[in-house]
Each structure stands twice: as C-alpha cells, then as structure tokens.
Amino acid sequence: MKHFLDIHKTDPADLRAMIDSARAMKTARNDRPKGEADDEQPLAGRMVALIFEKPSTRTRVSFDVGVRQMGGQTMVLSGSEMQLGHGETIADTARVLSRYVDLIMIRTFEEATLLEMAEYADVPVINGLTNRTHPCQIMADVMTYEEHRGPIGGKKIVWSGDGNNVCASWIHAAGQFGFDLTFTGPETLDPEPVFVDFARKKGANIVIERDPAKAVQGADAIVTDTWVSMHDPQSARERRHNQLRPYQVNEQLMSLARPDALFMHCLPAHRDDEATSAVMDGPNSVIFDEAENRLHAQKAVLRWCLGV
C-alpha cells in the first residue's frame, strides 16, 4: 500500500514516473473528443473518498473529474459532515472508511490529522493539502514547467512572498527533482528550516535572499501565492500585506529574470496583491496550465497509489 503524503516522503523515481504518466494521459485525453471517458478505465469499480475540512475549487473538481474519467466513483465529504477528531477519533474514522472505500484523499488543516489518517487506514491516503505542505500542487507545477521549458533539473526557481505550505512543497521538490530554489520574502515568513535542510542535504542550492531584485536574477521561473488565507483575521491580513508588499511580482520584477522566465501561481489569486494582472495575464504566465495539470498529475498519483 502506497500513501502519497509529501514529496519528500516519495521516492524520486516514483515522482518522475508519475510526471511521465500524467503527461501521457494528458496527451491521450487531448486526442479524444471533449467529454469522453478515458480509453483505459483503471479505477473501474473503485470508490474514492474525498474529504474536505478546508473548502476548495481546484482540488475538489480536479480529483472528482479525474476519478470519474478513469472509471471510478467519488464520495465527497465535508468537514462539517465528518467532524474529524471531535466526535469519532481520526483513527476510528480511518478504520471505518477503509471498510467502504478504496482510497482516501484528505484536504485538512493540521498535518497530524493527515498522518493519523494514513497510520490507521487500510487503504492509500493522499495529501490534498495541509497547513504545512501541498504536494499535489507542486506535481502539477513541475509538470507544467517541463511542458514549457523542458527538464526542470538544474534550473533556478524563485519563490517570492510567504514561505507557506506551497513554498514548502516546492523546496521538497527542489531536493527530489534536482533544481535550485531561491526564497525571497520577509524573515518573519521564512520557510521552515527543516524543509530547507532536507533539500540542501539532497544537493539542491537553497538560497534565502531578502532583496527580490537580486533574487530573481537568472531565474527560470518566478512563483508566488496568495498573501492571506481565507481563515486569517483582518489584523493578520493587514500585517501580512505590509510585510509582503515589496515582494509583489510585477512587470518590473519579471524584467529582471531571464527573458523566458515563467510566472507561476497555484491560484486562487488576489490580483494586484501578490502579483499584478499584467503579469498574470502576460505572455510568460502559465497559471491556467497549472490549474489544468492538477487534473492530470493527480490522476497519475491516484494510479500510483492503487498500482493500476
């Protein structure tokens, strides 16, 4: 049984195989009329539970559509329906769900919830997002980069802004896929040192540079994310805006990177906060390719977990 809990917990060869599988499935799907099911139905007869303690657009739709395209069925459960850990324990929930479904995807707040679910489940568990990491997004991001610019190994990726869960998974990916990453943002929002240490031990050059203009020099891609979470109080939002405003990805900052540098953002975006609309809609932006590739990358993750 194979869980997909984090990029740094998955063998690099398996990560590469998933990216290759995702690209192959995307190519095959693009050759078929829109709306048709996949020729292969590897999830036929399988039931997948999709648990959302945190609300979602891309994660919910992409997993739901992906399972259906491969012949499976989904059961979507919200946090209010489940009340994980409040009535029934997470461990007991995992044991019960394992009697009904073939795989569990969970999008939750605390990493401990994900880990406990995986520990006690008798079926594979996929990390759809936690407060610490977002591995499925970065699988789609690596796939997107390589579609446009070829192998990501040896490239320079710059993260501008908050060292949040998406940034953490980018740092993990640097270690696993062999690229370098520069973080530029305020010291108060640095990524966790344990993530940086992991990537450095794997041979990736991880740089912390406070000056965004210096950070993006020679960049092959600039990546950012929203400055605020939907759950942040108003006071925290204002404080974050003040801290992060110098790290906005705008046309001036993009001009300091390589001319063919990609702009990436996992969405949803607060336009003209973390990035300007001119950059988001500009010729170097691949944000909607990233959104689409969640579908293909996650189909590959599902197949890897189930061995089909």
Q: Of the residues 132, 134, 258, 265, which is catalytic?
A: 134
14 is catalytic: no
234 is catalytic: no
Residue 202: closest CA among 7, 5, 4:
7
281 is catalytic: no
At residue 146, the 3 state secondary structure works out as helix
Residue 88: closest CA among 69, 116, 111, 46:
116
Q: Of the residues 69, 137, 176, 248, which is catalytic?
A: 137
134 is catalytic: yes
137 is catalytic: yes
Length of the chain: 308
3 is catalytic: no
Q: Of the residues 167, 266, 303, 305, which is catalytic?
A: 266
* Cβ–Cβ < 8 Å for 189, 244: yes
Q: Of the residues 3, 46, 60, 107, which is catalytic?
A: 107
For residues 178, 206, 285, 226, the Cα torsion angle rounded to the nearest 10 degrees is 130
For residues 171, 272, 247, 234, the Cα torsion angle rounded to the nearest 10 degrees is -90
Q: Of the residues 8, 60, 172, 294, which is catalytic?
A: 294
Q: Of the residues 167, 172, 225, 305, which is catalytic?
A: 225
| Catalytically annotated residues | 107, 134, 137, 225, 266, 294
